[in-house]
Amino acid sequence: MTYPGHETQLRISEGVLLGHALVARIADALGIRVFFIKGPASVLQGLRQAKVSGDVDVYVDPSRIDILLQALRERGWHRRPLEPDNKTFPNHSITLHHSEWPCCIDVHFRFPGMERASDDCFEALWANTVHMQLAGQRLRVPTKALGILFLALHALRSRELPACQQELEYLALLTRRESQAETLLVLSSATGALAAVRPFLESLLPEANALVWPEPSLEWRNRVAAQEPGSARIIAIVQAPWTEKPNMLWRALFPRAEVFLSLDIYADMSVLGRLNQHRARWVRFLCAVPRLIRDLRSLR
C-alpha cells in the first residue's frame, strides 16, 4: 500500500544511504577522517524515533575539508549558494547538491554550541566515535553519549518548537535510563558545549549546583534568540558597528540573488521571479513583526 509522497520518501531514503556510502568510500580512499551525525545512524542507535532523513550529515577533519570537497566536486557535487551575511551566524557546514541525487550532503567542520577551536574539537569528537554497519559498509558514527549531545544541541536552538521539545524529552529519558549524564558532562566540557547544553543537562546531573557553568557565547545567544524569519538579520544590524549598519540595512532591503538561492537552488531569478520573491519576503517579515520584537527582547 502506498500513499502520496511515499515513493519520493523511499527515493530520498535510498539516496541518503547511498550518500553515506559514497562519502565514506571517498574519504577512506583519501585517508580523511569523517564520521556521520544525526540521520539513520541515530535512529539505529535508538537516539531518535524512526524518521526520513533528507540529507547526509558528515563531520570532517577541518584540516582536510578542502580535499574532500574537491573530490566530491569532481563527481558532480556543487556547493549550494550561501547567505552572504556570515556575521551573526558563522558558517558551520557546506551544503552540496547534485542534479542526479534526491538529497544533499552537509559537510560539517564545526557544530553550533561547541565553542572549542575546530581542530581541537574534532580530535575530542573523533575519540568518541565507533563503527557501525550502515549502507552496506562500516562507517564511523558518534558513540551514544556523543550522539545525544549532537541531537540535544540541535534541538536546543529551537527548543520552543513542539518537535524540539519532544526530542529533548525523549533524549532526557534516554540519558537517565542509560546513566549517560556524567559522560555527557565530560563530552560537553571537552568540546566547549557546556554553556549551550546547560538547559538540557543541568536537570540530569545530581551535583549540578556545584558546577560553574560558563556563559553562552554571543553566537549561541543569537541562534537561540533568532526564531523568526528576519530575526538573525535584525540582530546582526543591531550589534554591528555604526559604520557597517548602512550597508547591512541596504542588503537587508535589497538582498543579493544568493539569499534566495540559499533557500531554494531552483528559485526563479528572472526579473518577475525576483519581484515575486521580494514581495513574499516582505509579507513573511510583516507577519513576523510581533514575534521579531519578542526575539529581540529575549536577547537583551
Q: What percent of the chain has pLDDT over 70?
A: 78
pLDDT score recorded for residue 179: 93
Nearest-angstrom CA–CA distance, 235 and 298 = 11
Lowest mean pLDDT of 6-15, 99-108, 149-158, name the range.
6-15
Judge contact between 107 and 124, C-beta under 8 A: no
Integer-rounded Cα Rg, in Å, for the chain is 20
What span, in angstroms and rounded, lies between the C-alpha atoms of 35 and 225? Answer: 30
Q: How far apart are CA 10 and CA 112, in angstroms?
A: 30
Q: pLDDT tens digit string along 254-293?
A: 677 666 656 666 666 677 777 777 777 777 776 766 666 6
Residue 3 has pLDDT above 60, yes or no: no
Residue 4 pLDDT greater than 50, yes or no: no
For residue 299, pLDDT over 70 is answered with no
pLDDT at 87 over 80: no
Q: Distance (Å, rounded) from C-alpha 29 to C-alpha 72?
A: 12
List, as one string, the DSSP characters of 65-110: HHHHHHHHHTTT-EEPPPPS--SSS---EEEEE-TT-SSEEEEESS
Say how many C-beta atoms besides its own lie within 10 A of residue 245's C-beta.
14
Q: pLDDT digits over 48-61, tens only? A: 887 777 789 999 99
Predicted model pTM: 0.82
What pLDDT is stored for residue 24 in this prediction? 94
Element (H, E) at 35: strand 34-36
Which of the four pLDDT bands, split at 50, 70 and 90, describes residue 10?
Answer: very low
Sheet holding 93-97, edge to edge: 34-36, 55-60, 104-108, 93-97, 78-79
The answer for residues whose C-beta is within 8 angstroms of residue 184's C-beta and 6 or more apart is 145, 148, 149, 175, 197, 201, 204
pLDDT of 276 reads: 74
Count Cβ atoms below 10 Å from residue 22 Cβ, excluding itself. Answer: 19
Q: What is the 3 state secondary structure string of 154-205? A: HHHCCCCCHHHHHHHHHHHHHHHHCCCHHHHHHHHHHHCCHHHHHHHHHHHC
Angle formed by the axes of helices 181-191 and 118-126, to 10°? 150
